[in-house]
Structure 1
Amino acid sequence: MAALIATLLLAPTTSAAENTSDQPAPNAQQKAAVAQLVEDYGIPAAEGQRRIARQDEQTAVITELRTKLGERFGGAWVDHQDGGKLKVAVTEKASASSVTAAASGKSPVDTVVVDRSMSELQSMSASLSKRIAKANKAAQHGLQSAVVTEKNALRLDLPRGKKLTDEQRRVVRWAERTFGDALVVDSYRHASRPLYCGGQYSCDPPLRSGLAIYGGNTRCTSAFMAYDRSGYYMMTAGHCTEAASYWEVPTYSYGYQGVGSTANHHFGYYGDYAIVRISDTAFWQPRGWVYTTQPIRNWDYDYVGQYVCKQGSTTGYTCGQITDVNATVQYPGRTLTGMTWSTACVSPGDSGSGVYDGSTAHGILSGGPNSGCGMIHEPISRALSSLGVSLLAG
């Protein structure tokens, strides 16, 4: 059971009424994130701007602690019910001093002692996901799951009002018996799906994230640019490149122009990601931008409570709060693991969009629920590692 042991007020907080003129003016993505945060929690705009502005600082603290604490790291999240404060979970009380050191002079942090490390939760999740994927193959309605960081537990989601197969029921019983109080059983209303479509964000070069891309009758969206020793690539969702192998982009001045063919992709148990080799880099001049010119400087991991945005070729800018990490998702005909859920609204054609926060890349949009808002994305860390490429910075 999690126990709150310390509140580390390591830097003075700015009230919503205080002057925020010393903060840099928010860009379009940050404005969209602020607007969504204000709507979600009913806070003043100035307070929303302050919270979004400090996300990079919070992420840097988490990344440092993830490495420093190792097996003692129990995860981290941003608690917007508690002023947007960063919460860091540790498996032993003595580790609080490491949290204090990492957060010194930065955002306020609470340290929470938990029973299970993040690596333990991830191992438990992997074991459950394998059984879910096997059971879902012959099922009309799939089981899903996620790591619930703030509860130091796993959540197993059953399709609401739907009948489970015998094998699915065996998985539920196995999970309850194996994980005990580390498991929360819940339900979901709407099935998930990938978000390609047939059908316009068009720009002249340079090639960047957030543009409409076409392969045959399929429209998706470009994600971040990447490179290796042999050339440059456009990233997008793997399910898009299963539908088509050659991709082109509508430009403002030159009509439709070919980008290239799929160089590598995956759409299955280990995620949803792809790279398209840019055949004419002299023409396309790929840049680490998101439509129109928002630079992407680096990448980082996903944490519950963060606000992330995407620029999709159907819905444009939308933002939402990360709610689940290391999630197992059931799409028609296949189960995906290691995915991230957030509350952003998305629509068909947005698949492949780069998911980001400010100048930090977080992932590639994969899908969402059949009805209502919600976004599923592939973590950029896994996509880059699996594809063997590096993120092109803006």
Structure 2
Amino acid sequence: MNTSRKSAITAAAGALALGLFAPAASASVPGIEGYSDVVADEAITTLTSERGISETAAANLLQTQQESVETLDEVRSAIAGDLVGEHLDATGKPVVTVATQAAAVTAEAAGVTAEVAEHTTEQLDAARAKLESLPTVAHTSLGLDPAANQLVLTIGEKAADDGARKLTAAAAKLGDTVRVEHVAGGMQQSIYNGEAITGGGSRCSAGFNVNDGSQNYILDAGHCTGAVSQWNVGPSVDASFPGNDYGLIRNDTGSAPGAVTLWNGSTQDIRSAGNATVGQDICKSGSTTQLTCGTVQALDVTVNYAEGAVDGLIQTSAAVDSGDSGGCLFSGSTGVGITSGMGGGSSYFQPVTEALSAYGMSLN
């Protein structure tokens, strides 16, 4: 991850899949720019269920979030050296944590709520470095909670007891720069057997359709492309896993739309790549759990799978399961990530802009 804070990153677009039907939102509910009816309905349904708000309030919240992400994009460069963290609050408004009062004044002048950080970027990075210098413990993760201005060390119950104890003891010495959370189960990749794109007895979900100017490819999860050499859509041509979790499949199907299938015969156009922001409501499409929505919980998360550590991941509450790997994470018409794995009730995604840059690809 090529950022000093390893903060807000991501993005991309276009995929294959099939669908979960949901009725269109009522005519009284305002439209959301860039959202297809099906995605808007699923996102609104998730918000009304999780937050107990009306459909109209949910739609307005999603629109506010879209505008807030654009505002953060503009403010980020103005306070770059002093930016410690950023997120969207419960109303969808942008909030930044900064190192200096001067940066706070600049941010607030642009309409962004600003808070002077208790813990600086340097302190958080130093705490991260100390924890990451310890032997890797499978079924644990480490990420930044920008709203709390803390690192979050998550320990799954499958983590080895001795390793978990050492991590917990090290975290305790770092004071309130680190919060420790214990969750059920463990962290695992989302690849197993089934349909969607298949090969070698395994199943993943097709990711973003991309091209190099002459050939179409599918940008997918690296743990998928590294495990299977030949898929029913074409051969794997590269894999980066662990460390990262992205890979490339040559698309020989003759079909490579810049859209995500929504599992009911309709699609969501993906028109751009953008940043994921903590607090942002997003959706994902995959061949097992189909269309699900949730909230971005953390960025720059290091997940310690049994097969090795992957860093820089996006953590969300959107449901994923085995076979969803490679599937697309998106916010309306903006692509965000590639499904990597799951654990402790959360899901993890590889930021797509990093993968696009690594391969020199463009979205279809």
Same-fold status (TM-score > 0.5): yes
2:277 aligned residue: 303
Q: Does 1:183 align with 2:178?
A: yes
Q: Aligned Cα RMSD in Å?
A: 2.5
Choose which of 252, 259, 264 in structure 2 pairs with 1:289: 259
2:136 aligned residue: 135
Q: Higher Cα Rg: structure 1 or 2?
A: 1
1:342 aligned residue: 316
Aligned AA for 1:391? L
How much has 1:146 moved relative to structure 2? Answer: 1.1
| Conserved 8 A contact 2:143-2:299 | yes
2:61 aligned residue: 51
| Conserved 8 A contact 1:125-1:146 | no
State, as a whole percentage, how many aligned pairs show the same letter.
29
Q: Does 1:275 align with 2:260?
A: no
Choose which of 364, 376, 379 in structure 1 pairs with 2:338: 364
| Conserved 8 A contact 1:227-1:391 | yes
2:81 aligned residue: 71
| Conserved 8 A contact 2:128-2:151 | no
User: What TM-score comes out, normalization by structure 2 length?
Assistant: 0.83
How much has 1:354 moved relative to structure 2? Answer: 0.8
How much has 1:299 moved relative to structure 2? Answer: 1.3
1:254 aligned residue: none
Q: Does 1:35 align with 2:45?
A: yes
| Conserved 8 A contact 2:30-2:56 | no
2:326 aligned residue: 352
Aligned AA for 2:260? V
How far, CA to CA, are the matches of 1:135 and 1:358 in structure 2? 36
SS in 1 for 2:72: helix
Aligned AA for 2:89? D
How far, CA to CA, are the matches of 2:234 and 2:158 in structure 1? 45
How far, CA to CA, are the matches of 1:352 and 1:125 in structure 2? 31
User: What TM-score comes out, normalization by structure 1 length?
Assistant: 0.77
How much has 1:321 moved relative to structure 2? Answer: 0.7
| Conserved 8 A contact 1:131-1:171 | no
How far, CA to CA, are the matches of 2:136 and 2:184 in structure 1? 19
SS in 2 for 1:318: strand
Gaps spanning 5+ residues in structure 1: where?
1-18, 104-108, 201-211, 249-258
How far, CA to CA, are the matches of 1:369 and 1:334 in structure 2? 15
How far, CA to CA, are the matches of 1:161 and 1:349 in structure 2? 21
How much has 1:157 moved relative to structure 2? Answer: 2.4
Cα displacement string for residues 68-108 of structure 1 (whole angstroms, at most 9, x for unaligned residues):
2112112211222xx333222222222233223433xxxxx
How far, CA to CA, are the matches of 1:367 and 1:161 in structure 2? 15
How much has 1:304 moved relative to structure 2? Answer: 1.1
| Conserved 8 A contact 2:139-2:158 | no
Q: For the structure 1 residues 262 and 120, does the alpha-carbon distance in structure 2 shift closer, same or farther, using more than 3 Å as the test?
A: farther
How much has 1:197 moved relative to structure 2? Answer: 2.0
1:215 aligned residue: 199
2:154 aligned residue: 157
Aligned AA for 1:324? A
1:313 aligned residue: 287
How much has 1:176 moved relative to structure 2? Answer: 3.9
1:85 aligned residue: 93
**Bigger RCO (CA 8 Å, 6+ sep):** 2
How much has 1:163 moved relative to structure 2? Answer: 5.2
How far, CA to CA, are the matches of 1:174 and 1:388 in structure 2? 40
| Conserved 8 A contact 2:221-2:246 | yes
Choose which of 108, 117, 121 in structure 2 pairs with 1:100: 108
| Conserved 8 A contact 2:157-2:186 | no
| Residues paired across the two proteins, number | 332
